[in-house]
Amino acid sequence: MDFLSANGQIVPVEIRRRKNTRYLRLTLGYKNQIVASVPWHTSERSVGKFMEKQRIWLDAQLSKAPRIYTLTEWLSLHPQITASGDVFEVRIEATRSFQANYTFDRGGAVLILRLSEVDEASLIQLLRRFAKDALTCRVAYYAKHYGLSYRLLSVRDQSSRWGSCSARRCISLNWRLILLRPELQDYIILHELAHLTEMNHGKGFWKLLDQYDPERIRHEVAIDKVSAELMRVARL
């Protein structure tokens, strides 16, 4: 199903049917698609009529939606990656080796991504591997610092979240955290580690997180400002 915007753009519509949903709701996804959350038995025709009623709002949202960047485009504009509380310059090189790998140059200041085929899919795969290694080390560092333990850390390609922590003490992080500034990346990690002690967002949680990150309010505001753009990077 598609939506024709006011400027002639054909926008895909993703219909998500939910058994416990009572009302139709429209949002924009991180591929700049229209997401229609609707009751289970809602027909496409009903969704189409609802979108027509919301056309002015939809056109306004689409007109101000951030651009979607490939990872190649993003790194050409922002050739920096965050890891271990520091920022590294990024350089992409072709290699004869069949195995993509990464290494460091200039005394550890430059992260070199070596690829046999410098294409988008290969670049994403390698950088996600780097993100897994880097974030694993950073989470372990803070967990040891605060005397915390967790069962499992996974680094994934979440559609909207920066991170989560389950009741089973499993932490999941978005690989795009390496695109954030160091203090913002650390805030997300500390946020999820705080859930190991306080599983909800009650007063106890925020008090604990304030101890972990005294600048947490400023960091939350900064993350809100960049999330819409960064979450759209490398959406194949």
What pLDDT is recorded for position 151? 97
What is the pTM assigned to this prediction?
0.88
pLDDT band, very low/low/confident/very high, at 98 (cuts 50, 70, 90)? confident
Query: Residue 1 pLDDT more than 80?
Result: yes
What pLDDT is recorded for position 90? 97
pLDDT more than 70, % of the chain: 100
Q: What is the mean pLDDT of the chain?
A: 95
What pLDDT is recorded for position 97? 80
pLDDT band, very low/low/confident/very high, at 202 (cuts 50, 70, 90)? very high
In contact, 116 and 97? CB cutoff 8 Å? yes
In contact, 174 and 156? CB cutoff 8 Å? yes
pLDDT digits (tens, 9 = 90+) for 157-182: 998 899 999 999 999 999 999 999 99
What pLDDT is recorded for position 203? 96
Looking from the CA of 85 toward its CB, the CA atoms found within 13 Å total: 7
What pLDDT is recorded for position 146? 97
What pLDDT is recorded for position 236? 74
What pLDDT is recorded for position 118? 87
pLDDT digits (tens, 9 = 90+) for 15-57: 999 888 889 999 999 899 999 999 999 999 999 999 999 999 9
- Burial readout 90-108 (b: 16 or more C-beta within 10 A, e: otherwise): bebeeeeeeebebeeeeee
Residue ranges of domains in the chain: 2-63, 71-230
CATH homologous superfamily of domain 71-230? Metalloproteases ("zincins"), catalytic domain (3.30.2010.10)
Say which residue the tokens 């890891």 belong to.
83
Q: In 3D, which of 82, 172, 160, 162 has the Cα closest to residue 127?
A: 82
pLDDT digits (tens, 9 = 90+) for 67-83: 999 999 999 999 999 99
In contact, 232 and 67? CB cutoff 8 Å? yes
